[in-house]
Structure 1
Amino acid sequence: MRAIQFARYGGPEVLEAAEVPDPVVGPGQVLIDVEAAGVNFADIRQIAGDYEQPGGLPYIPGGEVIGRTPDGRRVMGFTANGYASKAVLDAGDLVSVPDRLGPGEALALLVQGLTAWHLLRSSARLRPGESVVVNAGAGGVGSLAVQLAREFGAGRVIATASTRDKRSLAVELGADTAVDGAADGYTERIIEANEDRPVDVVLDAVGGAVFEAALSALAGFGRLVTYGSSSGEPTPAVDPGRLMAANLGVSGFWLRPVLTERGAAGLEMDELLGLVASGRVRPLAGAEYPLSEAGRALADLAGRRTVGKVVLKV
């Protein structure tokens, strides 16, 4: 089969095309013909060597795919080696995908959609009427979190984004307003955007100085949920006394333990697919790259030159 792999750690430039044997299907698994593979920040970290590669190098990255089973069903799910023309998925965790959904729209609901759902429901425990800030509100997770916050009863949704076009997109998706997400002046912009009041919830995957500024924008009993550090900056330590003084909460979220415990094909995915089917939530499909251009796709993702869900078409 065709695949993209890396034999040494580094940036997107270490990826190379290869012909490799088809993967071996184990008990309770199914081999699918891949239509498209999702591209995520986790892939960048994996290629850089931040994650241990089971079986060593060379290694085929990619954690999510959409495609067809041998009997013709269109499904999506998580896999270990997704940047390839064939992939193995657990048969009990397949998510059926209607043909009307494009590959980017469908794959947006896996890592990004489930993450956005859990950030609001499980970690922030959003209550009706609360104000929510979604950092990087035009990105894969952010674009869905903006829409889900509205669906889950937020009183005011504020998005941050780095460009005017991205801020306009966040408002189009349902944010009440959108502001520049740069760390300098962040706290003041967020409070002003919330009609001169501190906010109840901030969802942050930027980290560094933005994390610190977001913490300063919280109201009493406010919650900051961190789920990444795309800035690459070290995030300052949080003083417990500072949290106690204003009854603040800081929590972290990572999807992988949730998937290990529950899988992808559960009530959360059912709700997401239902919202999409009803037209209440619109997964944001981003750029599609040929499988052979996986390195360019990752470079564009790392450089924040993409909007929505990026996929590799096989």
Structure 2
Amino acid sequence: MSRLPQTQRALQFNRVGGPEVLEIATSAPLPSIKPDQILVKNAYAGVNYIDTYFRGGVYPASPLPYTLGREGEGTIVAIGSSVTDYKVGDYVGYMGPESQAEYTAVSANYVIAVPAGVEPGVTAAVLLQGLTAFTLIRDAHEVKRGDAVLVHAAAGGVGLLLCQLLRAVGAGTIIATASTKEKLQLAEKNGATHGIDYSKEDWVARVKEITGGQGVIAVFDGVGKSTFDGDLEVLARKGSLVSFGNASGVVPPFSIGRLSAKNLKVLRPTLFMYLTTKEEFTEAATELLRFVKEKKVDVKIHKIYSLEEAQQAHKDIEGRGTTGKLVYKL
């Protein structure tokens, strides 16, 4: 540690608000590591919609100043005394807080070696969203061959990965919604069998039409408030509404009795409750990166930003003008 700097650059905010509250701290303290942690010098860090939730106050952020980030990749520069699986110099990907900084201390339970053949930046781009998509179709609602499903915001980072993974596991009808013709074409290129432009079409009526009135067995919804009622309407008997995002706002309280008409399930999963152990994370991350290496999952990087461009990155992701993942290069 003696050769490491004492301070670092980090993307932070001191108060909640719009993108303008983001700033780069040039003398943030270098993280110290616990016995079960490693210290990574970051090469790339992923940008996720959840970053805007913390920045905007939807989710609590403390203490302030708050350093953003949930995933990254880079080189290990120090290891804790109880870590035996990794060594200084290993190039790894990880999930953990405060990744949008030069250095991040992360639990060794959430670290995975980047396989040879996976391009730089891709692991940071795919881990959080890829594992989110992976657990949504395996744990939240296990999709089976031939199933009819609906994916909202299908051209976003999670949406495109959902379409690819649903195709890989054999879903029969994959209905995608998006706001433009170009986004729908991208979703269909990534596995969707049908596209609905919700800005021009009655998406509830179209889902019923596509499924012959039967509905879908699962809805994967990162939009939230504006699509919730329609989701319940298009679900088939014994179907699952997997609500995992709030892009249009938080879903308001509703009467649980609404579910009984079709014996529906509503889930609000969080990724880390599916990956609570080293074994769970390693198994899921290994399979995901194998899909990436074998080109069964194509990671779409919309743009690579510098930390200095963070305000624009937040404007871009909130403006829904992006297709695929946003990444910082450090």
Superposition TM-score, scaled by structure 2 size:
0.88
For residues 186-234 of structure 1, the C-alpha deviation after alignment (integer angstroms, 9 at most, x for no partner) is: 21021223355411111011112311112101111221111111102x5
Q: Is the 8 A contact 2:45 2:73 kept in 1?
A: yes
Are residues 289 and 268 of structure 1, via their aligned partners in 2, closer, same or farther at CA, if it must alter by over 3 Å? Answer: same
Q: Which runs of 5+ in 1 are unaligned?
A: none
Q: How many angstroms does 1:184 deviate by?
A: 6.8
Residue 14 of structure 1 is matched in structure 2 by: 21
Cα separation, 2, equivalents of 1:300 and 1:313:
17
Q: How many residues align?
A: 312
Aligned equivalent of 1:266, options 256, 261, 282: 282
Deviation sequence 1:26-69 (CA, Å, 0-9, x none): 21222111111111111111122344444x22222112111111
- Residues 130-279 of structure 1 aligned to structure 2 (within 5 Å): 130-182=147-199, 185-232=202-249, 234-261=250-277, 265-279=281-295
Shift of 1:313: 0.8
1:299 corresponds to: 315
Q: What is the CA–CA distance in structure 1 between the aligned matches of 2:320 and 2:174, rounded to whole Å?
A: 22
**C-alpha distance in 1 between matches for 2:238 and 2:280:** 31
Aligned residue in 2 for 1:94:
111
Equivalent residue for 1:108?
A: 125
The answer as to whether partners of 2:45 and 2:125 remain within 8 angstroms in 1 is: no
**Could you list the runs of 5+ residues in structure 2 that have no partner in the other structure?**
1-7, 78-87
Are residues 1:48 and 2:65 paired? no
How far residue 183 of structure 1 moved from its aligned partner, in angstroms, is 9.6
Are 1:158 and 1:175, in contact at CA under 8 Å, matched by a contact in 2?
A: yes
Amino acid across the alignment from 1:105:
V
Q: Is the 8 A contact 2:275 2:281 kept in 1?
A: no
Paired with 1:52 and 1:156, the residues of 2 have a C-alpha distance of 38
TM-score by length of 1: 0.92
Percent of matched pairs sharing the same residue = 39
Q: CA RMSD in A?
A: 2.1
Deviation track 1:163-190 (CA, whole Å, cap 9, x = no partner) reads 1111000000111111123597221021
The offset of 1:14, in angstroms, is 0.6
Name the CA distance, whole Å, in 2 between partners of 1:165 and 1:12: 27
Alpha carbons of structure 1 residues 198 and 301: separation in structure 2 relative to 1, 3 Å: same
Task: Supply the distance in 2 between the matched residues of 1:263 and 1:19 (Cα, whole angstroms).
Answer: 37
SS in 2 for 1:265: helix
Contact 2:180-2:199 within 8 A present in 1 as well? no
